[in-house]
Amino acid sequence: MKIIARIIAFVKEYEKEIILFIAVFLISLLSFAIGYLFAKENSKEPIKFEKINYDIKTPCTYS
């Protein structure tokens, strides 16, 4: 019972800080989850670059 009393006293003493920590943690977790879901939803096929060989034939004007 002594340990429970110490825990209760600790929570009462730091109640505002504990609530602030929980709120910041939950908001951060929610922000991460929303960002992760939007990133998965908007994932597109990556851009692929292909090499194209052009044969440019110009008239030679050298004399």
Q: What is the mean pLDDT of residues 8-14?
A: 96
Residue type, 4: I
Query: Do 39 and 33 touch, CB atoms closer than 8 A?
Result: no
CA distance 61 to 63: 6
Of 45, 43, 44, the C-alpha closest to 35 is: 43
Which pair of tokens denotes residue 29? 């977790």
Query: Do 45 and 52 touch, CB atoms closer than 8 A?
Result: no
The contacts of residue 19 (CB under 8 Å, 6+ apart) are none
Question: pLDDT band for position 63 (50/70/90)?
Answer: low
Q: What is the mean pLDDT of residues 16-30?
A: 98
